[in-house]
A = this chain, B = another copy of it.
């Protein structure tokens, strides 16, 4: 019996193995197709990725000319490999990151090289036995100290790579000096090849279709406000079921788009750090107030947390009784819609770099709606209604009041940004017409024909919300 089952099992195993082998080509084909379509999507989402890859290839090929071309090789010899290494490690996606790494690497090499030569001289004074001991001590102390300094948050954000290269160069130069008598020559060749490699990166990254971290941050902040606006403009209709299509309301893309705002902190911070390395470009001055963008971003995220709470109300599937709904519907829809409009106004003002003009009036309207909501809640119309049935709607109203407060703070911070960055002021009508033809403006002022920041979810620019709700 047992034997039989074992044979059976074996046969089963064999059959399964055969089955697996037979399916292999099919599986491989699906896998390859999947990878191909993923690759295509990746390039389509942000064509700058493809261009960046070609730029890296170009820089590397150019720098390897040092090996091929005899007169250049005569000058630098094997040290030319430092130039190749520099290109590989320094070339980053944005100009700011490349420049930051390049400057960090160059300065750290210079400083550490000088100190390394000094340490070598100091050590060589102490005789042939003392020298390696003293050198080892220097390397240990320097590495431990620099590694600890890398833990300081502010230094980690801007100079982490520089400290890494400092440790590297100091160790290499001081230790090599023990064998190589031409230590000054070594330090000098290393520095000059690193400068050549770094310059190649920086020049190519600025001249060939540059990707500016600052512009990305600028667009990301505007995009995030737009995502919240899309939610708020659609929320009234979705919650009170006044839109035509009532089925699966949580599937709608514009109600999901804001989710990516919740976790945008890290991206914003690193973009701001890179942006600070960038020279003035296009519409941005050298000392553009990048830190103010982070403030706007933080407030936007605060608002997104409230919207997340609103969203959970939306998907909770609690039906609002019509007699409750109609009492607060108008005020809630106006509040949400006006906040959405204010955020859209801010987003397009930021994009166009003009002072937002009508955002305050939208806030005023939503505050007026909040006031009328309060008075309608105060009036005696509610006495015949079960409090339990009112709760969901009242909670939504209360969260919307929070959202209005948050939006007001965002408006203030964008005003501050506008004055810090000297956005030009336009009249209200002008701004209206500008924001109507926003897409054209963006395409025209953009220095490259590439899309600004990839919208991960939803359609942030093409807002197709039902505007009839507000006229209810």
Q: What is A's interface to B at a CB cutoff of 8 Å? A: 38-39, 42-43, 49-50, 52-54, 56-58, 60-61, 64, 67-68, 73, 78, 81, 84-85, 88-89, 132, 135-136, 139-145, 147-148, 151-152, 164, 167-168, 171-172, 175-176, 178-180, 262-263, 265-266, 302, 305-306, 308-309, 312, 374, 377-378, 382-383, 386-388, 390-392, 394-395, 397-399, 402
Do B388 and A377 touch across chains, with their CB atoms under 8 A apart?
yes
CB-based contact B68/A171 at 8 Å:
no
A58-B140, A84-B168, A305-B305 are known; give 19 further A-B pairs, CB within 8 A: A42-B148, A49-B148, A53-B144, A54-B144, A56-B143, A57-B140, A57-B142, A60-B171, A64-B136, A67-B178, A81-B175, A84-B172, A85-B172, A88-B164, A88-B171, A309-B309, A377-B388, A378-B388, A382-B387
A130 to B: closest C-beta gap in Å: 12
Using CB atoms, name the residue of chain B closest to A374.
Answer: B388
Complex: chain B residue closest to A397, CB-CB: B391
Residue of B nearest to A142 (CB): B57
Q: How far is the CB of A164 from chain B (nearest CB, A)?
A: 6
- How many identical subunits does the complex contain? 2
- Let me know if B398 and A392 touch, CB within 8 A: yes
- State which of B53, B142, B176, B394 has its C-beta within 8 Å of the C-beta of A394: B394
Query: What's the nearest-Cβ distance from chain B to residue A424, in Å?
Result: 33
- Cα of A83 to Cα of B106 in the assembled complex, Å: 22
CB–CB A164/B89 < 8 A:
yes
Contacts of A144 in B (CB 8 A): 53-54, 56-57
**Which residues does chain B contribute within 8 Å of A84, judged by CB atoms?**
168, 171-172, 175
Complex contacts, A145 vs chain B, CB 8 Å: 53
Complex Cα–Cα for A98 and B42 (A): 29
Residues from chain B with a CB closer than 8 A to the CB of A179 are 67, 73, 78
Residues of B within 8 A of A388 (CB): 374, 377-378
Set of chain B residues within 8 Å of A147, measured between Cβ atoms: 52-53, 56-57
A378 cross-chain contacts in B, Cβ below 8 A: 386-388
B50, B64, B89, B263: the one contacting A175 at CB < 8 Å is B64
* Listed A/B pairs (11) with beta-carbon separation below 8 Å: A49-B151, A57-B142, A61-B136, A64-B136, A67-B176, A68-B136, A78-B180, A89-B168, A262-B305, A266-B266, A383-B383
CA A399 to CA B402, docked complex, whole Å: 13
Cα A178 to Cα B402 in complex, Å, equals: 68
Q: State which of B89, B139, B386 has its C-beta within 8 Å of the C-beta of A64.
A: B139
Interfacial chain B residues near A42, Cβ < 8 Å: 148, 151-152
